[in-house]
Structures are given as structure tokens and as C-alpha cells.
A = this chain, B = another copy of it.
Amino acid sequence: MTTTSDRTAAQPTAAETPEAPETDRLTGPAFVRDAAAAPEALAAPAAPPRPRRVPVGRPDADGAPRVDVPALHHLLLGRWPQWRQAARDRAADPDFWKDESLSMAEHRERTLEQLRRLAQEGSHQVWLAFPERLGGGEAPGANLAGFEELTVADPSLQIKAGVQWGLFASAILHLGTPEQQDRWLPGAMDLSVPGAFAMTETGHGSDVAAIGTTATYDPQTQEFVIHTPFRAAWKDYLGNAAAHATAATVFAQLVTNGVNHGVHCFYVPVRDAGTMEFLPGVGGEDDGLKGGLRGVDNGRLHFTRVRVPRENLLARYGQVAEDGTYTSSIDSPGRRFFTMLGSLVQGRVSLDGAASVASKLGLAIAVRYGAERRQFTGASPVEEVVLLDYATHRRRLFPRIAETYAIHFAHDGLLDLFDEVFSGAGDTPENREDLETMAAALKATSTDFALTTLQECREACGGAGFLTENRITSLRHDMDVYATFEGDNTVLLQLVAKRLVGDYARQLGKQVRSGQGMARFVVDQAVDRVLHRTPLKRAAQVLGDVAGGAAEHLLDAATQRELLADRVATKVEEAALALRPAQKADPVTAQRLFDDNQVALVDAARSHAELVRWEAFTAALAKVEDPGTRTVLTWLRDVYALTVIERDLAWFLLHGRLSTQRGRAVAPALEALLARLRPHVLDLVDAWGYGPDHLRAKIASGAEKQRQDEARAYYARQRAEGAAPVSEKALRKQERAARR
């Protein structure tokens, strides 16, 4: 976090403009970190070309700042630029593109074929996260950086790859012992065993602890009996299950010696690899057509007393001895469950990244089209106005560019934390807990954002946006399910809120233990919030507004941070205080209290995600060396802050955090910033680094400009030749004038 006002720092001054020495950018923190992060065992793909040093990024002759696009592009490639770029190069290969003309069955086969190609490339693509002794790279962060870029080729490819390597193989990796890894990982890695990740059941989605499938140990035969006791316990929505899986990692209630030890994972062969027929006792169904991701063969599986050897329990966190005795290194069944599930957090992390990628693609297409498309005449009677020059169009798209940058920078932080935990460099319980909370908060909000953004982009392109050839609807269809898989977004936000409230309670506990006493604390808080803080703040604001202008204050980073951080703290505190009586209440009252505060809890979690993103964006500004780029990005960060504030403006007003006067300044300040950003938006979307082979949208190809130029040239020629018919309107005007 930066605590100085980066706004001041971002103003390009004469002292800052001289060109920095050539080496500075190339040996800066980002590159140093890259080198440290690249595992030696890995032959990394060639590094992407170094950014051109072009004389941009500094003020124009007229003093306007410019974005240094290559340098910004490089910054955005992040900590593992070579892996991210390699995946983008892969995604630019037509063999990996989504083919919209295929039937569901054909699309599924094509995607499987693409997976085979990825598997052949092994550690250069999809084995990065696996143990070196098995040919992997043990580079979990680099793996995800590349993996999420597969979205650019075809989200079906990303998700089917995610099922195979991110879920099925990862379950073996994270829940299995080294011996089990040696036995089953090679087949999972090289795709000789396509696998399903059989966790979700028709009757239970996000509530995994309540699944119905049982795995009962039979000491007579030393086998587990996998059984589906009723229809709702069928495994459902499983990628690879409808057609391609020959094995599955099956989650089931482990029962031994009459005791249910909770959910554990088992390696279960499901189909004969030769005939592709289900093995005895296994059955299933095809989920059929879906709203998107038609290249993924989702399906259902059920088990009728299917026996697997005792050794097929993935035994890292829980073991069953020959006689049925259960042991675990984690004493608490609850903590054990969350540890097992937590090891699968990478799905959520990668969906946050995929959502960021999809938002960028949609916005890049809509902005390119909006920069060329003309509609209606404005000030000029003959020249039509480019869409981006309409205030409504800017309002639709630009705040979303800002939010996408915020999502991007926060995701970079999430990847860092993920890599720290899963590389073992910082695998502490605190880091794991932070990672889970952050992944839940970011995934839940960025996937929602991607959907509304793609929709806004599609509508901003009019009828052209609806054509599949322009890509946006296709992306949106595929991204739709991201809102509910790997954890339903609403459930995830409840999880985040629970953590925030828990942290608050712990902090409260400390205060109480330090002798201040509970009642005192609660009263203090209430008084602080309701009596002192609110009116005082408001009064101070009025004075400030008179002196310095409301808009200026809103553009101060310290003000933004205070507004956003205080909002989270207040929402969490209010919820925590409201929930306090639940601890001592009967279950019905407790449930009612929880229910009464559920909407507020989810809201608090969303605010938390926004704060995390604001902090990440602000921290990233400090990494930008070029002053022009930093100025424009600071405007963009301000747009993000004002967008977040405007979205929740009623809250700030109701809680006295913004005066009416300052509240009124939000919209005009935002619109002024959007107008100021207008000359830079193409640079800002270009810096994401997606070219024509990534965007693959006809309207983003320059065709619209060609059409518009042709039309304007036609009319200009007509006017020049005097060949244009007189308009009746003009004629009547002349007649009226003549009559006078």
C-alpha cells in the first residue's frame, strides 16, 4: 500500500520528464521478480519482445499526457510474462479457436483434441503446477497465469483443461499421498486418463459438506463401497463425465466402523478405456446442451455399490487402516474438511483471471468499434459523430475499463498470494485463509462484472454486437456459468462476510481482554459512529468544500481510501453488532437474525472486494515509471473510485460520510474524468495486448472505419461535384426565406 498521495506524484513535472536511463525499466522490480520466480528446471519459452522505447508517455507539446503503450503492456503482463505470452500465442493459433459452426458433439471432440495437443506440450503449458519428478514445473502461479489466457482461444478449452488438470489431476496432487501421485498423476497429466471431478451433486451444489454419496469401508475385503443412496445424490454438471472420462475423483462421506468422518475424495475408474462403456455399478447421463461452454461434455454419474480398493482413498489428510481405523493429522473434522477443500482454491483464482480476460476482450472490441462507428450528426450538419464522443457511450464503457484495470491489478496480487502458498514459500494458515477469502471475494465480483460488461459491450455495438461473428455474445454465453460454478457467487460472498465479521469479533475480543470491557466497547463504537463521527465529518466537509471544492477532495487518494475503507469497516461492524445476540439465542432466533442480516453481509463483502481492488490499483500506480502513463492511470483509478462511490452513494449519504454538497459533485467529477480520458481509451485497451487474432471480431478489425470513410468520401465527392440532390428541407427553408 502506498500512503502518500499518489495523485501529487502522478502530476508530470518538469523534474520528472527527462528520460530515465535505458536500463531502469528493464531491471526494475517486475523483471527481477520474474527471474527469481522462474524455476530453473523449466525451459521457459522465449521471453516476449522487450517493450519498444518510444518517445511517448510524456506530455505532448501541448502538455497533454500520453500513455506509453508498450511499457504499460509489459507491466500488465505481470510476474510471469513469458508464460502468459506463451498462452496468448497458443490462443492466437487458429487450431485452438472456438469454431462456432460445430454441433455440440463436434465441439466436444475438437476440444478434447485441443487438450491432447496441450498435453503433448507438457511442462510448457499445462504441467507447470505438477511435481518436477513427474515432469512438471512446480510453478503454480505461472501455471495459472497461462491457464487463464486459454479463455482467449475458447472458454470451453479453458474449462475442459481446468477440469482435467485443475480439478481432476489437482485433487490427486493435493489430496493424494506421494505414492498416489506417482500412481495416478502421469495418466491425468498426459490425458491418457481423462477424468471427472465428481464433487457436486444434483441436490447439493455449494454445500459440499452435505453431499449424499457414501464411501463405506468394508474391512472384510479392504474396499470402499461407493454408493449413491438417492437421485439427489447423483453427481452432476461434471465436465468430462458425459463422454470422455475414464476415471473420476469422487467426493463422498467416508464411513468406517459406523462413524461418518465427513467428505473425502476417492479415485474411482468409471469407464472402460477401450469400449468407453461404464464400468459395472457406474451409471450416468449427459447434461446435454447448456447456455454456453458447449465444448465441455458435462454430465451426471451415479454409483451402485461400486467397490474400490482401500488404497483409492486419497489419503493425504485422512487414512483408513486395514481394520477400518480412521486417522488424520487434522483433529477437527471441520478444519479437516476446509483444508481439503481449500487445497482446491486455484479454480476460483483462475476464474477471477478468466473473468478479467473476457472483460478485456469485450471492451477492446466495443471501444475499437465505438472509435470508428458514426451515428447521428452533432454540431456539424454533414459529419456524423463517433460513438465514443457521446457522453452516454463514455458512461457505458469507460468506467468498465477502469474497473477492469482494478480487477487486473487485484488479480495480480491474488496470483502472488496463490503462488506464495502453493509454491510452499509462504504456506501458513494465515496466508491460506487470506487466499481463500480473497479468491472468494474477487471471483464472486469479477465474474458478475464480466457478465454485465460483456452485455454492455454487446449493446454498445448495436445489432452488430448480436452477431456471432463479432464474438461478444459467444463470450458472454460461455462466461455465464462462471457466476455459479466453483462456488455460487452469493454463497462465496457470505463466506467472505463471515470471515470479515469473524476478524472483527476477534479484534473486539482483544479489546475486551485488554480490560476495556465489552459493554464499554460497544457503546464507544456506537457513539463514535452515530453521534460524533458522522456530523463532525459532515461539518468538516462543508468547510472543506467551501474552501477547496468538493470534486477536488473526491480526487484525493487519501479521501478515496478513507471513504472506501471506512465503508467496509462500518458495514462489517454493523453486521457484527446485529449478529451478536445470535451467539446466545435459540436456533430459530439465531437463524432469523442471520436471515435479517444476510443482504447486509453480502453487501459488506462486495464493498470489501472493491476496497481490495482500489488498494491494488493504487499500489500499481507506484510501479508506473512513465509520468504520462501514470497520470492517465491515476485518472483511471479515480474513475474507479468515483464509480464505486456513485454505485453506493446512498450509503455514503445515509451514513453521513459524504455531505449532500459533496455527493452532488460525484457525477460531474466522474463525467469530467471520462471526457478527459477520451483521447486515451484506445491506448488503454491496446495495452492489454490483444491483437486481431485474439479479438477475432469483424467490427474491431477496422472494417467499420473503412465503411465510414467510403460513405463520407461519397458524400464529399457529391458535394464537391454539386451532384448531390437538394434536400426538400433545405429547399423549403430557401423558399421561406425568399418569401420574406
Q: Which residues of A contact B (CB under 8 A)?
A: 100-101, 103, 200, 202-207, 210, 212, 229-233, 236-237, 253, 255, 258-262, 287-292, 326, 332-334, 374-381, 384, 389-392, 395-396, 451, 455, 458-459, 462-469, 472-474, 476-477, 480-481, 483-485, 488-490, 494, 587-588, 590-592, 594-596, 598-599, 602, 646, 649-650, 653-654, 656, 660, 663-664, 667, 671, 706-708, 710-711, 714, 725-729, 731-732
Contact of A260 with B653 at beta-carbon distance under 8 Å, contacts A203-B708, A459-B489 already known: no
Whether B288 and A711, one on each chain, are in contact in the complex, defined by CB atoms closer than 8 angstroms, is no
B residues within 8 A CB of A602? 392
Q: Which of B261, B480, B706 contacts A728 (CB 8 A)?
A: B261
Q: Take A451-B455, A654-B664, A725-B258 as given contacts and tell me if A480 and B466 are in contact as well, using a CB distance cutoff of 8 Å.
A: yes
Contact A231:B650 (CB < 8 A) given known A463-B237, A726-B259: no
* Shortest beta-carbon distance from A464 to chain B in Å: 8
> Given A231-B711, A650-B653, A653-B653, 9 more contacts at CB 8 Å?
A210-B376, A230-B714, A231-B710, A237-B463, A260-B727, A262-B727, A291-B476, A378-B587, A392-B599
CB closest residue in chain B, given A465: B484
Residues in B neighbouring A477, C-beta threshold 8 A: 291, 473, 477
Instruction: Collect the chain B residues with CB atoms within 8 Å of residue A292's CB.
Output: 466, 473
Is B473 a contact partner of A488 (Cβ separation < 8 A)?
Answer: no
Inside 8 A of A490's CB, which chain B residues have their CB?
Answer: 392, 396, 459
Q: Which one of B463, B494, B671 contacts A485 once the chains associate, using CB atoms below 8 Å?
A: B463
Q: Does A288 contact B467, Cβ atoms closer than 8 Å? A: yes
Given contacts A203-B711, A708-B232, is CB(A663)–CB(B671) below 8 Å? Answer: no
Q: Are A462 and B484 in contact (CB under 8 A)?
A: yes
Contact residue among B200, B210, B489, B664 (Cβ-Cβ distance under 8 Å from A463): B200
Contact B473 A291, beta carbon cutoff 8 Å: yes
| Whole-angstrom distance between the Cβ of A202 and the nearest chain B Cβ | 7
Chain B residues within an 8 Å CB radius of A472: 291
Asked whether B473 lies within 8 Å of A290 as measured between CB atoms, the reply is yes
Contact A290 B205 (CB under 8 A): no
Question: Chain B residues with Cβ under 8 A from A726's Cβ?
Answer: 258-260
Report chain B residues within 8 Å CB of A212: 711, 714
- Given A100-B289, A290-B468, are A596 and B391 neighbors across the interface (CB < 8 Å)? yes
Known A-B contacts A237-B463, A391-B599, A465-B484; the reply to A334 vs B729 at CB < 8 A is yes
Does the CB pair B203–A379 fall under 8 Å?
no
Whether B391 pairs with A711 at a CB distance below 8 angstroms is no
Could you say how many copies of this chain the assembly holds? 2
A483 to B472, CA, bound (A): 15
Give CA–CA (A468, B455) in the complex, Å: 20
Instruction: Specify which of A291, A489, A598 lies most central, judged by the most chain B CB atoms within 10 Å of its CB.
Output: A291
B contact residues around A650 at 8 Å (CB) = 646, 649-650, 653, 663
Closest residue to A485 on the B side, CB-wise?
A: B463
Name 22 interchain pairs, CB-CB below 8 A, sorted by A. A202-B707, A206-B375, A210-B377, A231-B707, A232-B707, A259-B725, A260-B728, A262-B729, A288-B468, A291-B466, A291-B476, A378-B594, A379-B587, A379-B591, A391-B595, A391-B598, A391-B599, A392-B599, A455-B480, A466-B484, A653-B654, A653-B660
On chain B, the residues within 8 Å of A376 by CB distance are 207, 210
Residues of B within 8 A of A203 (CB): 374, 707-708, 711
The list of the 7 closest CB pairs from A to B, nearest first, reads A291-B473, A649-B650, A289-B468, A379-B591, A232-B707, A379-B587, A260-B725
* B-side contacts of A374, CB under 8 Å: 203
Cα distance A360–B671 when bound, in Å? 36
Quick check: A288 and B462 within 8 Å, CB to CB? no
Q: Find chain B residues with CB under 8 A from A592 CB.
A: 379
Instruction: Choose one: B210, B381, B451, B588; the contact of A379 (CB below 8 Å).
Output: B588
Complex CA gap A261/B729 in Å reads 8
CB distance from A293 to the nearest CB of B (A): 8
A101's nearest neighbour on chain B, judged by CB, is B289
A474 CB to closest chain B CB (Å) equals 7
Q: How far is the CA of A467 from the CA of B287 in the complex (A)?
A: 7
Contacts of A207 in B (CB 8 A): 375-376, 384
Chain B residues with Cβ below 8 Å from A481 are: 463, 466
**Are A727 and B259 in contact, CB atoms less than 8 angstroms apart?**
yes
Q: A103-B103, A289-B467, A466-B290 are in contact. Are A728 and B262 (CB under 8 A)?
A: yes
Q: How far is the CA of A203 from the CA of B699 in the complex (A)?
A: 12
Contact A463-B205, Cβ < 8 Å, known A261-B728, A480-B473: yes
Closest CB in chain B relative to A171 CB, distance in Å:
19
Which residues in B have their C-beta under 8 angstroms from that of A660? 653-654, 656
**Do B728 and A599 have beta carbons less than 8 Å apart?**
no
Q: What residues of B have a CB within 8 angstroms of the CB of A732 in the complex?
A: 332-333
Bound state CA distance, A595 and B468, in angstroms?
32
| C-alpha spacing A535/B660, complex, angstroms | 12
Chain B residues within 8 Å of A396, by CB: 490
Q: How far is the CB of A260 from chain B (nearest CB, A)?
A: 4
Partner of A230 from B236, B476, B711 at Cβ < 8 Å = B711
Partner of A205, one of B200, B237, B462, B483: B462
Closest to A473 in B: B291
Q: Is the CB of B710 within 8 A of A230?
A: yes
Q: Considering only CB atoms, which chain B residue lies closest to A729 in the complex? A: B333
Q: Is the CB of B237 within 8 A of A671?
A: no
In the bound complex, what is the Cα–Cα distance between A486 and B653 (angstroms)?
A: 39
Chain B residue with the shortest CB-CB distance to A489 = B459
Which B residues are in CB contact (< 8 Å) with A664? 654
**Considering the chains assembled together, what is the distance between the CA atoms of A200 and B375 in angstroms?**
13
* A392 with B598, Cβ < 8 A, contacts A289-B468, A290-B467, A375-B204 known: yes
Q: Which residues of B contact A707 (CB under 8 A)?
A: 202-203, 230-232
Residue of B nearest to A104 (CB): B101
Most buried by B among A261, A462, A481, A485: A462
Contacts of A210 in B (CB 8 A): 376-377, 384
Residue in A101, A333, A484 whose Cβ sees the most chain B Cβ within 10 Å:
A484
